[in-house]
Amino acid sequence: MNYSVKSVEQDESIKSEKLIVNMGPQHPATHGVLRLEIETDSEIVTKAIPHIGYLHRCMEKHCESMDFRGVIPFVDRLDYLASMNMEHGYVLAVEQMLGLEIPRRAEYIRVMVAELQRIASHLVAFGTYGIDLGAFTPFLYAFQQRENILSIFESISGGRLLYNYIWIGGVWHDLKSSDLEMISNFVAEFEEQWQRYDTLLTQNKIFKERTAHVGIIPQALCHEYGATGPVLRGSGISHDLRKDKPYSIYSELEFNIPVGEGSVGSVGDCWDRYYVRMVEMRESIKIIKQCLDGIEDGEVMAKVSKVIKPPAGEIYVKTEAPKGEIGYHLISDGKKNPYRLKVKSPCFTHVSMVPELAPGMMIADLVALIGSLDIVLGEVDR
């Protein structure tokens, strides 16, 4: 029996229509309350439009009603997975307006907690990215070590997620010898655990096939959109404020800046962005070790007026947070409350790149792209 088969292209009665699919805001792969309006042609994405604002809290407007100290708990809630880094950038802006000199011991403590927070943030990125792509076990290992960091933060600040620890002039209170011992023990253990994570996920055949050559971000596009942090470095551009424009005591410390090299796929793909974060965790351990060896005795708070009133003027300060450069544009009119505080969010920038990158991708690869950007919506929406 002979069958005659007519191709779809020849049959004009069969028409293809684009399908609109909503991914989020209640979808774990969007890493927060982000809604992606995806236009698809079968499994191929033709358009992706991010819709934000589901976590908008009027943070910048609220800060105009708070005194300069009272703003710190608000910046805690920007990137709530990296609260120490959020605090560090804000207090640096106020301190530079005041012309404060911070005690050396406080500077060492600030860098240690900032790097511990960087590791904790990258562990969340590592664990959840594995879940996004079908690997559950890395999540359990990552959160086991993250719990150790949160226990350290709980000991020094009383909080496990939001800390209010880095204050204008220094830090809330000194580290006890038991706190330093906890940090030292964590560093020793994590170095061994990192190798396990690398074997478990980084070199996994399926993981590499899901991330190599996927979601490539060219360097030109990084410059065009102003990408920063691991997203920028994943595209092969060596730029890190801790090295290029050092603040605190980073200029005195030795560490490397990992960049994407295309060793598994293409430069700037999902795997490169993932691996930059992995190597950054090792570099953070290197920084913490140097701080433990070099920490000085002394005070942890400078003498600061009870009512903080920076002179009238404005300043812009940016620091290297785990997800990119967090910037604070602070305007003072000489009163006890900020006249204006504008926050530049790296995650907002990276979400803005999705419409450029998504067309032509498979839906499953779009999930890999979003995970590799490591966004947090508290910072995007503010």
Residues in the chain: 382
Q: Where are the domains of the chain?
A: 22-381
359, 46 contact by CB (below 8 A): yes
Q: Tokens at residue 379, please?
A: 């910072």
Angle at 28 between CA 24 and CA 29, to 5 degrees: 80
State the pTM of this model.
0.91
Distance between CA atoms of residues 118 and 109, nearest Å: 14
Average pLDDT over residues 147-153: 93
Mean pLDDT of the chain, nearest integer: 89
Distance between CA atoms of residues 324 and 230, nearest Å: 7
Residue with tokens 């904790």: 120
C-alpha R_g of the chain: 23
* 177-208 confidence digits (pLDDT tens): 999 999 999 999 998 888 888 888 888 889 89
Q: Tokens at residue 30, please?
A: 């969007």
Domain 22-381: which topology?
Answer: Cytochrome-c3 Hydrogenase; chain B (1.10.645)
pLDDT of residue 2: 43
* 342-369 confidence digits (pLDDT tens): 999 999 999 999 999 999 899 888 999 9
Residue with tokens 């350290």: 152
* 24-49 confidence digits (pLDDT tens): 787 777 777 888 898 888 888 899 99
Q: Tokens at residue 211, please?
A: 């991330």
